[in-house]
Chains A and B, each alone.
Chain A
Amino acid sequence: MKLRSWFLLPTWLWMLVFFAAPFVIVLAYSLLTRGVYGGVEQPWTVEAYQRLIDPLYLTILFRSFAMALAATAICLVMAFPVALFISRSHSRKNFYLQLVMLPFWTSFLVRTYAWLFLLRDTGLVNTVLMNLGVIHAPLSLLYNDGTVLLGLVYGYLPFMVLPIYATLERLDPALVEAAADLGARPLATVFRVILPLSRPGLVAGSVLVFIPCLGAYLTPDLLGGGRTVLVGNLVQNQFTNARDWPFGSAVSMLLMVLVVVLVWGLLRRESEQLA
């Protein structure tokens, strides 16, 4: 075997132990019978999958998709101008990139808790507004869909900014000059030249934001307060309180299949577009 082939060995081992094996285990669990105190028992059955078509669960799945789509869309709209700004700021580029990555210096959990302190009834936002006399009773800013969306956008925005920035950085500056030279005003240049050419970054960023948002568990749990049940919380609940491992596994499998089909289709369309 060539030396080059060995470079992938650690990754192959890692993927085998931490991706392929768990995948097989989850698949097996989803096809077994629920144990009384959690866990799984014989015999093999597809009962868990039959329960998936319950409208209750389909609604949760649909809500999760809607939430992830909304978060992705907001991230797109917010991240593109930021990435464009950074890519055109010459000497301060690295400084701005550091700012984008600054949140990663602390744990996601701590940062999500920070939102709790900001938004709760006695939190910073309500206290300031009340002291200013803008409101007389605290606004209930927590535990609704909007807060969950806020948390998702906040958490995943950098994953949108960075890939878009990477494509903009590679964009030939002469193309922007050529557009202006041919009479395009700055906005026309952005929409007719820069935006279409940053498509690979927009797609990559969207995938990087959409997938984790779809399976998000922590954000809806903390900021949604259990009222906003998304598919991530559903899975978690099946493995803990509900003690229904086969069903939790079936939901996981469905989510995974949907994501793979979706992303695969998207990437295929993109590569056709490039060809």
Chain B
Amino acid sequence: MEQTNLEVRQLVKEYPGQRALDGISLSVPQGSFFSLLGPSGCGKTTTLRLIAGFEQPTAGEVILKGEVVNHRKPYERRVSTVFQNYALFPHLSARANIEFGLKRQGRTNFGSRVEDVLKLVGLATKENRKPAQLSGGERQRVALARSLVLEPDVLLLDEPLAALDPKLRKQMRVELKGIQRRAGITFLLVTHDQEEALSMSDQLAVMNEGRIEQVGSPEEVYFHPRTKFVAGFLGAVNWIAGVGVRPEATRIARLPENHGARSSPARVTNSVFLGDCFQVLCQLDSGEEAVAQVPRSFATFSPGEAVHICWSPSDEILVP
């Protein structure tokens, strides 16, 4: 059986005139990469801060390795946070930043451990630089190394890739996942970027307005969303006659398809070239709008053309 590393039970956080968290429960298995995904203001960062101990819950429990840690101060919890803007100590070198936590624990002879972590995050040559002399990606690695070196029970990451440029962000996704796997440490990532959550997580929880809407593997929540919100947050959905169809599963044809496919008559309103595909916008005769991703090699459609929107029943998303 999988061992649970971190658990939160019925966590509630109220601020004056506002309920940021409305009783959320989660359990994060040992060594897994778990994401909290949701729009800004959904309570995901609040959850992280309660786990780190920066704030106290109004009600509920934070449980680390079977122990309720609500009363413990941040410096007494075996969790570590990678902050959104890294929060590196500007007066200390990269190496001194990484050694900070080890020194606070009164450890000595940590040289080889620091070397290992520097190697793990790929920073070995720049250890003597101050944060101001490092690039955004390098700062991120220092922040990661600073937490990893402490071998926390859970590593909390608050939108760690948000401050990076898009290209680096994609590259770091792969790296972050690799580092997590190699280090074997439980990661709890907070993000509003569904691609990020889908590509890195073993499991993810979709949050909305202080509640968890669904927990599951990326495939589960993407293909079998339990609510309209989850379906819409994880990617675009065409809502046609009460069922949802992802744009990549939506086809356009001049004649309705046979072989058990469903179809609905529509009119093309616009066609946008995206490089690898066309995005064709249609208005169904029933009034609903739909988007289809059509391969480049496929026939082109022009605005005003009468077409049929087609999809397979197996691609349908059914939500209550």
Contacts from A to B (Cβ < 8 Å): 172, 174-175, 177-185, 188, 192-193, 196-197, 199
Contact = CB atoms under 8 A, between A and B. Distances in A.
Contact of A180 (B74, B91, B105, B150): B74
B6 to A, nearest CB: 15
Contact of B52 (A181, A183, A185, A197): A181
30 contacts: A172-B85, A174-B87, A175-B87, A177-B52, A177-B74, A177-B83, A178-B81, A178-B83, A178-B87, A179-B89, A179-B100, A180-B53, A180-B73, A180-B74, A180-B75, A181-B80, A181-B81, A182-B100, A182-B104, A182-B146, A183-B75, A183-B105, A183-B150, A184-B75, A185-B75, A185-B104, A188-B104, A192-B100, A193-B89, A199-B91
A178 B85 CA distance: 11
Nearest to A177: B54
A174 B73 contact: no
Contacts of B146: 182
A185 B146 CA distance: 17
A174 B85 contact: yes
B91 A197 contact: yes
Interface residues of B, number: 23
Interface in B78-136: 79-81, 83, 85, 87-91, 100-101, 104-105
Given A175-B87, A175-B89, A193-B89, A182 B73 contact: no
Interface of B: 52-54, 73-75, 79-81, 83, 85, 87-91, 100-101, 104-105, 146-147, 150
A127 B75 CA distance: 51
A197 B90 contact: yes
Contacts of B89: 175, 178-179, 193, 197
A17 B18 CA distance: 60
Given A174-B83, A178-B83, A197-B91, A183 B101 contact: yes
Given A178-B81, A182-B147, A183-B75, 15 more contacts: A174-B83, A177-B52, A177-B87, A178-B87, A178-B89, A179-B100, A182-B75, A182-B101, A182-B146, A183-B104, A184-B104, A188-B104, A192-B100, A193-B89, A199-B91
